[in-house]
Structure 1
C-alpha cells in the first residue's frame, strides 16, 4: 500500500489527531491495514469511542476539504486562492461564519413541504408522476439559470472591455486634431442620414399597405369592383332579416295568408338578399375604394415610386458617408499602430460579444418547445408543476407560506453573505497595504476565488502576501481560534517582504505550525520569534542520509530516533541545520 514506508515490512500503521473546540476534546484515529489495503476510522469524544469518522456537529464545518485547505496551507501554492478551480473563497467565508445556515434553513423548509405533501397525498400514482415532472423541471431550470448567469457575466465583462477599448480607440484617433474634426463631422452626417432613412422607410411601409400603390392593375381591379357594386344597386331597406321575420307571420304584407309552402319559399328566397351588416360593409368598401383609387389609377404608384427613389438616394448618401468614416478610420489605423491595435481588439471583442449574445438568446427567446432553455418559460412551468403538486395534496395555502418564508431566508442569506464578504475584503486590503506598501495590488471582490483589481494575479510573493492578508482578516473575525499549518511560509517571498510576514503570523492565529527549509529562515524566523515574544518551539526532522547530521543529532539532548529518521527539539540545532530538507 502506498502509505507504508519504503523498505518497511510492517503490516499495520496508525495516524492520530487530537482536536480541541473550546473545552471539548475529540480524537480521530486512522488505522491502516497494509496487507488488505484498508483504512478504518475511530472517533473518541465525550460519550466514548465509536467506529467511523464521527466528529461532533460543531467540528464538521471546519473539517470540509475546502476549509481544511485554508488553515493547512501550502505557501508555494498561494495562487490557488486566485484560481476558482481550487480553493473556493466564498465557501470558506460562508463555512466560517455559518452564513450557509440560512440557505440550509431554506432547503429544510422545502424538504418539510415536500414531506408533508407526500404524506397527505390521496392519489399516490398521480402525485409521484407530478413530483417527478417537477424535479426534472427544477433541475433543468437550475442548469439553464446557471448557464444564463455565466453568459451574462461574460457579456458584462466583455461589454465593459469593449467600452474601454472604444474609449481607447477614440482617444488614440483624436490625437490628430484635424483628422478628429473631419471624422466627427462625417459621423454626424451618418447619424442624420440614418434617421432620414428610417423615417422614409416607415412612411413607405405605411403607403404599401394600400395594394393600389403597388401596381395600377390593383387600382384598376378595385375600381371595377366598385363599379360592379354600384351596378348591383344594393337595397336600402329590404334586407334578408325582413323576409326571415315575414316568414314567421300568419299573413303577408299584401293580406294573403302564409301557409307552410309559402313560408318555405320565403325562407329559400331570403338567401338571395344580403343581410343588413353585409350591406353596411359593402357600402364602406365602395367609399374606401373611391378614397384610395380616386380618378387616376397610376397616381398612388407614382407617389410610391417617388418615395422609393428618395429612399434610395438617402441610403446611397448614408453608405457614402459611412465609407468616408471607414476610410478616415482606416487611414488613421495605417498611420498610427496604436489606433490599428485598438481597432483590431474592438473587432475581436465585438465578435466575442455577438457569440455570447447568440448563446444568451437561447435562454430568453420565448421558445415554448418541450426542450426550451428559456428560463422564464421554465420558471412558469415549475410554478405550474408546483401548483399541480399542491393541488393534489391540498397544500396550496402551505405552499404560499413556504414561498414567503423561502424568500425571506434567501434575501437574508444574500444580504448577510454580501456584507461579510465586503467586510473581509476591506480588511484584507488594509493588511495588503501594510504588507506591500509599494505594490499596487488589492482584492476587488471575493467570489469562488479572490479577484484582484485590474489583474489576474501577481508575483509569487505578492500572491502569498495576498493569501496571508485574506486569511488573517478571515480568522481574526471568527469566534474560534484555528490552527494555521503552512508548508513553505516564506520561500517565495523576497527578503525585503519576509520581515513583514513574520510579525503578521501572531495576528493570524494563536497556533501556527510552519514546515520550513533552511533557506527560509533569513528575515522570517527571527521576526516571527520576536513578534511571538519568544514563544516558539523549534523541531527539526530529517531522514537518515547524512552521517555527520546523524552524529550531531545523537549528541544533542531531546532527540528521538526512528527507523529511518531523527527528530530533534531545540533552537540551536534548528538554526544550524543546512540541508534542503523539511525542517
Structure 2
C-alpha cells in the first residue's frame, strides 16, 4: 500500500485550525515544511491526522477540547489522501453541544465510490492501525519509549509494521477450532463420558489457574530484576566515571573495560556455539562420530532403503488390469501373494525418513570442532573475564583507600542491590527453572512443572472427549507458527539493528553511541559502557530517527513521514546532519517547524529546489485570531515570532 497526504482543512477548531485549508495538490511535493509559532495547533493537527487515519473513538472531553472558543457549536476536520493512486477524503464532524464526533469518507472507487458515513474501510484501517500510524505520524513521546529499558515499544513497532501480530491471530483461530471441536464432542457424548470430561475439565482449570498465578509472580520478579540490573549498571557507570578521572589509572581502566567487553562477547558467542555442538551427535565426541560413520557405511553397503515401496506392490495387486507389468497374467492367488509380500518393503514415508538418515550419516564423518574444544575455549574466556574484573576491583579499592569515598558509597549501594538481585535470581530459578528432580507436588510452585501438569491434565480431558489426536495436530501447528514468528522477529531485529547503527554512524559521527540489541526496547552501548542507560534528549531523538528510518525504509507499505518540531532539542551540527540524511529516505515528508529550527535543519531544504519542497508559513492575527497562510521560501526565511507555549 502507498499512502500520500494531499491536504487538509478545518473549521472552528483551536489555533490555526479555526479556518484553514492546506492544499498540497494531487501530486504533492516530496517535502513540505510548515512554519508556525508555538501554541498555534501543530500538535493538535498531528493528533487529528492519527485519529482520521485510524478512526479513533473520541470521548466528549476530547471533542470539546478541540473547539475554537465557547461560541462555536460545530466544527470539522477533513484529511485528503491518495491511497494506491486513488483519492480519499476522511471527514470528522464535531458537535460541541453533545460532545460527539462522527466520521464520513469519500472516494471515487468503482465499487466503493461516493460519500458514505463511517470511517475508512476495515481493510485500510487494519493497515493504518494505531501502532503503525504512530510511527509515521511521529509522536514525540515515542523517542523516549523506544529506548526505555524494559519497555516493549521498539518490538511492538516492528511487529505492527511487519504484521507479526497476525501470528497471534492465527493461534487464536486454532484455539477457537479446538474449543469448537471439544464442545461438539462433549455435546454428543454419553452421560458417563460427559461426567468424565467435566471432572477432567475442573482439574485442568485448577492447574491453569495455578499456572496463571505463577506466571504473574514471574513477571513481578522479572520486573524487579530489570530494575536492579539497571540500578547496578548506573552505579557501575558512576564508579567508572570517577575512576577514569584519575590520570594514574585511566589508561589501565580503559584497557580493562575493553577486555571485559570482548570477553563477555566471546562468552556469549561460545555459549551459543557450544549449545549447537551439544545438539550435533557427530561433534559431541570422536567415538560417537566413528560409530555414526560406521552405521552410514553399513546402510550404503546394504543399499538401504530398497528402491521399491510397499505402496507400489499394493497398487499393482489392486490394479484392474489382468496382467502384471512383466506381461504375466494376474489371478486371485497371484494378487494375494503380492499383497502378502508387499509388507517386506518400506512405505513411501518410511523411505523418505531412511533417506534423510543416510544423508545425515554420510555427512557425519566430516571433521570439525568438537564440543570439548569449544568448552575449553569457553573456560579460558571466563578465566580472562574473572581476572579483568578482579583487576578493576583492585583499582577501585585503591582509589577508595586514597580518599575517593564516593566510590565506596557507590560500591556499598551496588553490593546491597546485588544481594537483592541474587535473591531475585534465586527466586526466579526456583519459580521458572526446569528442575526435573522436583516431586510431583512441586507443580504448584514451579512453572515448568506446572506446565507439564497442565499438559497431562489436558491430555486426560482431551482423551475423554475423543479429541486428543486432533489436539496433538493443532499443538504441532501452533508450535510451527511460534517458530516462524520467532525466526521472523529475530531476523527483523538483526536487520533493523544493523541499519540503525549505520544511520547512527552518520547522525552521531562524533559519538560512540550504538544499539547493542533490540529486546523489547533499544539497548544502547558505547565502547566504554556495555549498557548505556542515561542519554540526553537530543540523543534520544537522534536514536529514534535512526531507528524509525531503518524501520520504515524497507517496510512492506510506503507511508509519508510527518513530524512536529523535529530538531528543537538537537544542536546545530546534528540538526544539519539529520536534515541532510533523513529526508531522502522518504517519498513524502510533512514537517512542522518553529522559526528557531531554521538554523541547521530547515536551511538544508533551501537548496533542494522549489519543485521538490513546499514552504508554507502560517501565523495567527493577534486581534482577529484568524490564521494567515503564505507560501514560498522568501516568507519562510523571514518569518519570526516570540510567541511561546504549545498545543
TM-score, structure 1 as length reference: 0.61
Task: Give 1:468 deviation, angstroms.
Answer: 0.8
Q: How does 1:87-166 map to 2 (within 5 A)?
A: 88-121=153-186, 122=188, 134=204, 137-138=207-208, 141-142=211-212, 144-145=214-215, 147-148=217-218, 151=221
Q: What does residue 394 of structure 1 align with?
A: 466
Q: What does residue 501 of structure 2 align with?
A: 429
Tell whether the 8 Å contact from 1:476 to 1:509 is kept in structure 2 after alignment: yes
Task: Give 1:125 deviation, angstroms.
Answer: 7.6
Is 1:62 paired with 2:132? Answer: no
Structure 1 residues 507, 357: CA separation in 2 closer, same or farther (over 3 Å shift)? same
State the distance in 1 between where 2:202 and 2:605 align.
60
Task: Give 1:369 deviation, angstroms.
Answer: 6.6
Q: Which one is further off, 493-502 or 15-24? A: 15-24
Structure 1 residues 113, 21: CA separation in 2 closer, same or farther (over 3 Å shift)? farther
Equivalent residue for 2:424, pick from 356, 375, 400: 356
* 1:75-94 deviation line (CA, Å, top 9, x unaligned): 58632322268771111111
Structure 1 residues 83, 395: CA separation in 2 closer, same or farther (over 3 Å shift)? same
Equivalent residue for 2:412, pick from 340, 344, 347: 344
State the distance in 1 between where 2:73 and 2:540 align.
43
Task: Give 1:490 deviation, angstroms.
Answer: 0.8
Task: Give 1:527 deviation, angstroms.
Answer: 1.0
Q: What does residue 49 of structure 2 align with?
A: none
Task: Give 1:512 deviation, angstroms.
Answer: 0.9
Is 1:490 paired with 2:567? Answer: yes
RMSD of aligned C-alpha atoms?
3.9
Q: How does 1:162-561 map to 2 (within 5 A)?
A: 334=401, 337=404, 340=408, 343-345=411-413, 347-357=415-425, 359-360=427-428, 361-363=430-432, 372-453=444-525, 454-531=531-608, 535-545=612-622
Q: Which one is further off, 482-491 or 53-62? A: 53-62
State the distance in 1 between where 2:458 and 2:105 align.
43
Tell whether the 8 Å contact from 1:73 to 1:486 is kept in structure 2 after alignment: yes
Structure 1 residues 367, 566: CA separation in 2 closer, same or farther (over 3 Å shift)? farther
TM-score, structure 2 as length reference: 0.55
Q: Which one is further off, 524-533 or 429-438? A: 524-533
State the distance in 2 between where 1:33 and 1:132 align.
52
Q: Give the secondary structure class of the aligned counterpart of 1:425.
A: helix
* 1:23-68 deviation line (CA, Å, top 9, x unaligned): 455433222111111122234454245544353324413322x322
State the distance in 2 between where 1:382 and 1:148 align.
17
Q: Give the secondary structure class of the aligned counterpart of 1:480.
A: coil
Q: What does residue 22 of structure 1 align with?
A: 84
Aligned residue-pair number: 409
State the distance in 2 between where 1:438 and 1:332 align.
30
Task: Give 1:448 deviation, angstroms.
Answer: 2.8
State the distance in 2 between where 1:385 and 1:340 align.
54
Structure 1 residues 474, 333: CA separation in 2 closer, same or farther (over 3 Å shift)? closer
State the distance in 2 between where 1:143 and 1:447 align.
25
Q: Give the secondary structure class of the aligned counterpart of 1:538.
A: strand
Tell whether the 8 Å contact from 1:83 to 1:450 is kept in structure 2 after alignment: yes
Tell whether the 8 Å contact from 2:105 to 2:117 is kept in structure 1 after alignment: yes
Task: Give 1:540 deviation, angstroms.
Answer: 1.8
Task: Give 1:447 deviation, angstroms.
Answer: 2.9
State the distance in 1 between where 2:600 and 2:402 align.
53
Tell whether the 8 Å contact from 2:67 to 2:75 is kept in structure 1 after alignment: no
Structure 1 residues 381, 2: CA separation in 2 closer, same or farther (over 3 Å shift)? same
Query: Which has the higher Rg, Structure 1 or Structure 2?
Result: 1
* 1:394-432 deviation line (CA, Å, top 9, x unaligned): 111111111111111111111110110111011000010
Task: Give 1:480 deviation, angstroms.
Answer: 1.9
Tell whether the 8 Å contact from 2:615 to 2:633 is kept in structure 1 after alignment: yes
Task: Give 1:393 deviation, angstroms.
Answer: 2.6
**Structure 1: 5+ residue runs without aligned partners?**
177-328, 551-562
Q: What does residue 3 of structure 1 align with?
A: 65
Tell whether the 8 Å contact from 2:508 to 2:574 is kept in structure 1 after alignment: yes
State the distance in 2 between where 1:28 and 1:370 align.
58
Q: Which one is further off, 90-99 or 367-376? A: 367-376
Tell whether the 8 Å contact from 1:483 to 1:512 is kept in structure 2 after alignment: yes
Task: Give 1:564 deviation, angstroms.
Answer: 2.8
State the distance in 2 between where 1:494 and 1:467 align.
16
Tell whether the 8 Å contact from 1:117 to 1:393 is kept in structure 2 after alignment: yes
**Structure 2: 5+ residue runs without aligned partners?**
1-62, 250-395, 526-530
* 1:514-569 deviation line (CA, Å, top 9, x unaligned): 11110100121121343577511122222221x7xx9xxxxxxxxxxxx6322222
State the distance in 1 between where 2:149 and 2:413 align.
26
Task: Give 1:380 deviation, angstroms.
Answer: 2.2
Task: Give 1:498 deviation, angstroms.
Answer: 1.2
State the distance in 2 between where 1:532 and 1:480 align.
27
Tell whether the 8 Å contact from 1:76 to 1:489 is kept in structure 2 after alignment: no
Tell whether the 8 Å contact from 1:483 to 1:510 is kept in structure 2 after alignment: yes
Tell whether the 8 Å contact from 2:442 to 2:449 is kept in structure 1 after alignment: no
Structure 1 residues 359, 572: CA separation in 2 closer, same or farther (over 3 Å shift)? same
Q: Give the secondary structure class of the aligned counterpart of 1:10.
A: coil
Q: What does residue 311 of structure 2 align with?
A: none
Tell whether the 8 Å contact from 2:92 to 2:103 is kept in structure 1 after alignment: yes
